[in-house]
Structure 1
């Protein structure tokens, strides 16, 4: 496998018939790195995951709260710092965040119909404070775009242009984009140009196909063309599979690795 990118696989969506630590180990056997979601769940043992020796590329960077409400901001920053401390166990370099807290089904705890100018201003102030936490703990937070039509209705700051605007406004290497191309395709499309526009601020790119949220090659997105465009643009960072397997996880992971290798 020869790839210009660092390739990773979300352990919360592949090999789900076995415990999380074993999933991480299985992903490592494929030559990939792993990513995990909520590290605070009882079934997540960060020490055990670290003992596998498989690098963890990213994990959830907050547990509750949001960017815009008084009590939500306090919860967001408090749990973001807890996440930064927890990340030391597995050495995860990047911590994933969203515009608001999501329930276990991906629905915002406090859905937002209209994002006001005041909300934008408060989000900028909150993210500025988040950067201070990132500097203190030597981590990078990454703000992920989400789709509103299928998976995450009511999420503020959800479009790639929204996340880009916030990250670019903050202007810190401690705050980057998690550019999720599955979500971007549902909401906006124009993926190659979106990648090119966002390139200077990308922390990582996540992929799944549309419709169905399965591995590349199962839907409408020309991921091989996107891989070549990213390589031609000089991107050498992380590309992560955050997808459901269309048949088996073995097939899904191999297909993903093949799609982004030997370009």
Structure 2
């Protein structure tokens, strides 16, 4: 069994211009994940013929802050035309506003009931927006230990609770297993419990945030667990190549990624 595999064009083949990265990823049979699409050559990206699985779905405000949640929805609406031009399926949002390097714009280390309610209401609004335009908004979990300190409701169990409470077909979870491994662990039970709400999965090994096989995570076991619960959606490599930014290193990283998430039928049945 093979999943739909994608690669994040922002993190691999770093020596190439973005359009060439997309062309190389697409040429090897992978779908493409993008981050911020503002100030990008969207027609050139569309002309590559690549299938774009996800992109950043907002550029301002905090989903859980009543004073700035409107900005999340407003910025998401402004990005809809780009998503439609590229054929993007999922627009990614986060529990709070991220600045440069993924740092929290307003660090907070405790969640409140108001944050929960605001997050839920904002996701419901995004669900209605997505339904009107035929896209899904995917709430991504983050780790607050290493990469994104000061972001409330960022753990996978929190984002899963918000998405399931919103209970809208155009609101799903971007389940990032790299972040979950750092912050929570127990990945196989996590994917089993989250399966009904997953829109897309992102992976990278820990430590280092490189391709599978370079760290501690047994991604082959995770792949079998995903196959076992019937997941057949997108799994995206949001990782740098362990060998560097060159083309050969990127090719090797994508090959290792493909190998980790190719599950034999006999293995699946066991």
Q: TM-score, normalised by structure 1?
A: 0.96
Q: 2:134 matched to 1:134?
A: no
Name the Cα RMSD after superposition: 1.0
* Superposed displacement of residue 17, structure 1: 0.5
Secondary structure of 1:101's partner?
Answer: coil
Q: Which moved more, 1:87-96 or 1:121-130?
A: 121-130
User: Which residue in 1 is equivalent to 2:162?
Assistant: 166
Q: 2:31 matched to 1:33?
A: yes
Report how many residues are paired.
259
Cα contact 2:31–2:50 (8 A) shared by 1 = yes
Q: Which moved more, 1:48-57 or 1:63-72?
A: 63-72
Q: 2:44 matched to 1:48?
A: yes
Of residues 8, 17, 25 in structure 1, which corresponds to 2:6?
8
* Superposed displacement of residue 70, structure 1: 3.6
Instruction: Supply the distance in 1 between the matched residues of 2:163 and 2:173 (Cα, whole angstroms).
Output: 7
CA distance change for structure 1 residues 185 and 67 in 2, over 3 Å: closer, same or farther?
same
* Superposed displacement of residue 4, structure 1: 2.7
Deviations 1:138-176 (A, max 9, x none): 110000000001100011211111011000101011000
User: Which residue in 1 is equivalent to 2:91?
Assistant: 95
* Superposed displacement of residue 68, structure 1: 2.8
Mark the runs of 5 or more structure 2 residues left unpaired by the alignment.
244-248, 265-270
Q: TM-score, normalised by structure 2?
A: 0.94
User: Which residue in 1 is equivalent to 2:80?
Assistant: 84
Secondary structure of 1:105's partner?
Answer: helix
User: Which residue in 1 is equivalent to 2:230?
Assistant: 234
Q: 2:249 matched to 1:251?
A: no
User: Which residue in 1 is equivalent to 2:220?
Assistant: 224
CA distance change for structure 1 residues 119 and 262 in 2, over 3 Å: closer, same or farther?
closer
Deviations 1:188-228 (A, max 9, x none): 10000000000000001100000000000000000011111
Secondary structure of 1:176's partner?
Answer: strand
Instruction: Supply the distance in 1 between the matched residues of 2:64 and 2:236 (Cα, whole angstroms).
Output: 29
Deviations 1:56-75 (A, max 9, x none): 00000001111233441121
Cα contact 1:4–1:261 (8 A) shared by 2 = yes
Cα contact 1:85–1:137 (8 A) shared by 2 = no
